[in-house]
Amino acid sequence: MLGLRNIKTTMIAAALVAGTVATSPPATAQESIYVPLFTYRTGPFSGSGIYIAEGMRDYLEMLNQRDGGIGGVKLALEECETGYDTKKGLECYEAVKDKKPVVINPWSTGITLPLIPRAAVDKVPVLSMAYGLSAAAIGDTFPWIFNPPATYWDGASMILNYIGEKEGGIDKLKGKTIGYIYLDAGFGKEPIPLLEQLAKDYGYTLKLYPVAATEMQNQSSQWLNVRRDRPDYMIMYGWGALQPTAVKEAVKINYPMDKFVSIWWASEDDAAAGGPQSKGFKVLNWHAVGDNLPAIADIKKHVTDKNLTQTDKSHIGKVLYNRGIYNSMLIAEGIRNAQKLSGKKVITGEDMRRGLETLNIDAARYKEMGLEGFAGPVKLTCADHNGHFATYMQEWDGSKYVKVSGDLKASMDKVSPLMNAAAKEYTEKAGSWPKRTEACDKAS
């Protein structure tokens, strides 16, 4: 017994020592660009996260297989599982930081927020594509943060504009009640100041229905309130298990689905959760759905058919899978731009920042990439790291999403003042916020 106990103690000690030794990161190959991908294929947000992870990885893997990387340099891809948990996300960040990543995609507003001040210090740009801090769109204040193609505030404004259009004029919003159901975290709270301001401007009444992350699968109390308040429209900012549950509950209380509008994160699965009655459910989007694009054909040919990925083939072309592709397309274009600007093949985070800042993807470039008509042009400047580009509304027809609107633009006259004020407030609260010292490049 004695010996056994001692051996066990020694084993624990040995394991702990092994752990400390193992923490020194393995060196990455010289001739590659290190792109860590923060993903979540586990946990309550995996319902959304798996699509994104697959799309993001497959596109970059396809570039590796088809073109040998970007500019002749392979991309060293590494996934880090965050589970949408801020704690694990920060652990991932610390783990990848030493390997000189060119860009970080946190894929969580909660993880983005602590990274915003660190980006400038660690010289690693953060690409929070259409999420994160809306005010980070101001490049002069946040030179290291990029959040194209639209912010959450833009999204809220677009949804209201769409509702206004449907009602026959934005002034028709007066006297209406608009319900807002959201994930009660940094992400869902983000548009509330704007919605409140616009409630004053447009004259609608705003009702808030927060859903805690732990209560995502149990929203009966929120929807009981919705049934009582009978809002004319419902706006949803959800993610993960929140969305299918909300759709189900809305169907259950017979809420008119065509008046239920979501920000751009709802997937096919989320809409289908409500069964045939969820027809009419609306979601913002800014890129094509479906797999009818040469680049996606290449993904199939070079990646999925060769079993170089764990992607479920039925996921290809789904809205969130394509969202992942869009995210990776921005990374790839940023790297390409950075190589051009710096003249180097293996770029650093600083080069990547310049590359993203001069991002200019027009229709011709989309065609070159095999993504013709995939999404609208993206052009960023030093002052504007977002672009506030137009999106469109898509409607669930029972089996797929169909486009039901033209270009929806945010009312920048309403959004801009709030955004500037928020950026100012953010920097003031941070104590000493560094002035932008990074030079501005001419667009290539």
Partner 1 sequence: MLYREAGQFKTNYVDDQAVFPIRQDRIGIAVILAVAFVGIPLFGSDFFISAVMVPLLVFSLAAIGLNILTGYTGLLSLGTGGFMGVGAFACYKLTTIFPDVNIIIWILVSGFFSCGIGILFGLPSLRIKGFYLAVATLSAQFFLDWAFVRIPWLVNNNTSGAIEVPSRYLFGMPITGPMAQPEVRYLVVLSIVALLTLIASNLVHGRIGRSWMAVRDMDLAAELIGIRLYRTKLLAFAVSSYYCGVAGALMVFLWYGSAEPAVFGIDQSFFILFMVIIGGLGSLVGSFFGAALIYGMPIILKAIVGLVGLQISPATVEHLTFMAVGGLIILFLIIEPAGLARLWQVGKQKLRVWPFPY
Which residues are at the interface with partner 1 (CB under 8 A)? 2, 5-6, 8-9, 12, 15-16, 18-20, 22-26, 39, 41-42, 79-81, 83, 86-87, 90-91, 94-95, 97-98, 109-110, 113-114, 117-118, 120-122, 133, 184-186, 189-190, 192-193, 210, 212-214, 310, 422, 426, 429-432
E strand or H helix at 167: helix 152-167
Q: How far is CA 40 from CA 77, 89, 90, 107, 437, in A?
A: 15, 10, 14, 9, 35
Residue 254 or 307 having the CB closest to partner 1: 307
CB of 62 or CB of 211, closer to partner 1: 211
Can you tell me the distance from the alpha carbon of 240 to that of 48, in angstroms, rounded to the nearest whole number? 5
In whole angstroms, give the CA distance from residue 127 to residue 131. Answer: 9
- Cα–Cα distance between 436 and 136 in angstroms, integer? 13
Residue pair 84/13 in contact by the 8 Å Cβ criterion:
no
We find the least distance from the C-beta atom of residue 214 to partner 1, in angstroms, to be: 7
Least distance from C-beta 229 to partner 1, angstroms?
A: 19
Peptide bond into 117 cis (omega under 30): no
CB closer to partner 1, 45 vs 162 = 45
Q: Are 395 and 262 in contact (CB under 8 A)?
A: no
How far apart, in whole angstroms, are the C-alpha atoms of residue 51 and residue 316?
8
Q: Is the Cβ of residue 109 or residue 337 nearer to partner 1 in the bound state?
A: 109
Query: CA-CA distance, 335 to 77, in Å (whole number)?
Result: 14
Q: Which of 327, 337, 310, 293 is nearest to 441 (CA)?
A: 337
* Least distance in angstroms from the C-beta of 54 to partner 1: 11
4: Cβ contacts below 8 Å, ≥ 6 apart: none
Q: Find the shortest distance in angstroms from Cβ 114 to partner 1.
A: 4
Structure tokens at 312: 């479920």
Nearer to partner 1, 67 or 196 (CB): 196
At closest approach, how far in Å is the CB of 109 from partner 1?
7
Rounded Cα distance, 68 and 282, in Å: 39
- Residue closer to partner 1 by CB (options 186, 370) is 186
29 vs 343, beta carbon nearer partner 1: 29
Closest separation in Å from C-beta 309 to partner 1: 10
Q: Is-contact 276 250, C-beta < 8 A?
A: no
Smallest distance from partner 1 to CB 92, Å: 9
Query: Token match 């608009």: residue?
Result: 178
Least gap, CB of 185 to partner 1 (angstroms): 6
Q: Cβ contacts of residue 364 below 8 Å, gap of 6+?
A: none
Query: Which residues neighbour 144 within 8 Å (Cβ) at sequence distance 6 or greater?
Result: 119, 120, 123, 124, 125, 126, 353
Smallest gap from Cβ 153 to partner 1, in A, equals 10
- Helices 242-252 & 220-229, crossing angle to 10 degrees? 50
Which of 289-307 are b and which e, b meaning 16 or more Cβ less than 10 Å from the residue's Cβ?
bebebebbebbbebbbeee
CB of 36 to partner 1, least distance (A): 10
Considering the complex, what minimum distance in angstroms separates the CB of residue 151 from partner 1?
A: 12
CA 226 to the chain's CA centroid: 28
Residues 6+ positions from 188 with CB-CB distance below 8 Å: 182, 210, 211, 237, 238
CB closer to partner 1, 413 vs 428: 428
CB-wise, 11 or 363, nearer to partner 1? 11
Nearer to partner 1, 193 or 280 (CB): 193
Report the residue number, 2 or 442, with the smaller CB distance to partner 1. Answer: 2
Radius of gyration of the chain (CA): 23
